[in-house]
Chain A
Amino acid sequence: EVQLVQSGAEVKQPGESLKISCKGSGYTFTSYWIAWVRQMPGKGLEWMGNIYPGDSDTTYSPSFQGQVTISVDKSITTAYLQWNSLKASDTAIYYCAKLEGLTSPSDYWGQGTLVTVSS
């Protein structure tokens, strides 16, 4: 059974760093892209970027380029989303999702990680 299990909710202060995770199982982790998607409170879905675990090839949305870092540790079948300096506007639910192929839809999703940034 394909599963993407994300790390738990986080509460951080502005300026702090954070790395959240997404562990894949039940499929060949290195053969399928992983996407990260943001959902701000009460708002819609925003695609942040994709990473291919096989070679760490990464594509970012221009809206998120330079604001976050997407990475992967294929030895533990885990993808990451990282911030160096959080802002209040980063408060959102972040989902990881598996893609069947680069231009394919997201067929499996993690449960989401709620990140709250508040002083």
Chain B
Amino acid sequence: DIQMTQSPSSLSASVGDRVTITCRASQSISNYLNWYQQEPGKAPKLLIYAASSLQSGVPSRFSGSGSVTDFTLTISSLQPEDFATYYCQQTYSTPYTFGQGTKLAIK
């Protein structure tokens, strides 16, 4: 199985901050990397697919980059609704593993 490691596991930030979350794959996954946001009590929501493509309807303050094994999710200016847990997922090969999640909290 491909292991996905996110960092940090949690972070505190303020509204307006720029935040970066990283995700590392245990082997090359090309650009088969997706990012999801999960608010408490809700289903995950797709933010970024194919490492850097913004899903329709997602605000442009979200962006993704990277390839091969190292990827980042950046939120350019945090909004109150962005405080949630973020997961990366590889869909390069089954099983389609997720990272352990990054919980973004209000400072």
A residues near B (Cβ < 8 Å) are: 35, 37, 44-47, 50, 59, 61-63, 95, 97, 103-107, 109-112
Does B45 belong to the interface (CB within 8 Å)? yes
Interface string of B20-59 (1 = CB under 8 A from A): 0000000000001010101000011110010000010000
Chain B, interface SS category:
loop
Kindly list 4 other residue pairs between chains A and B, CB separation below 8 angstroms, not including A50-B94, A109-B44. A45-B38, A47-B98, A103-B92, A104-B91
Flag if B44 contacts A59 (CB, 8 Å): no
Whole-angstrom distance from the CB of A39 to the nearest CB of chain B?
9
**Given B55, B92, B94, B99, which contacts A107 in the complex, CB threshold below 8 Å?**
B55
CA–CA, A103 and B95, complex, Å: 11
Flag if B95 contacts A63 (CB, 8 Å): yes
Does B67 belong to the interface (CB within 8 Å)? no
User: B100's closest neighbor in chain A, by CB?
Assistant: A44
Given A45-B89, A105-B91, decide whether A35 and B96 contact each other with a Cβ distance below 8 A: yes
Question: How many residue pairs bridge A and B at CB < 8 Å?
Answer: 57
Given A44-B98, A46-B98, A47-B96, decide whether A109 and B45 contact each other with a Cβ distance below 8 A: yes
Contacts of B1 in A (CB 8 A): 62
Contacts of B62 in A (CB 8 A): none
Flag if B46 contacts A105 (CB, 8 Å): yes
Q: List 6 A-B contacts (CB under 8 A).
A: A35-B96, A62-B1, A97-B44, A103-B92, A105-B46, A105-B55
Interface string of B75-92 (1 = CB under 8 A from A): 000000000000101011
CA–CA, A47 and B1, complex, Å: 12
Contacts of A106 in B (CB 8 A): 34, 36, 44, 46
**Given A44, A63, A95, A110, which contacts B87 in the complex, CB threshold below 8 Å?**
A44
Flag if B55 contacts A47 (CB, 8 Å): no
Contacts of B34 in A (CB 8 A): 105-106
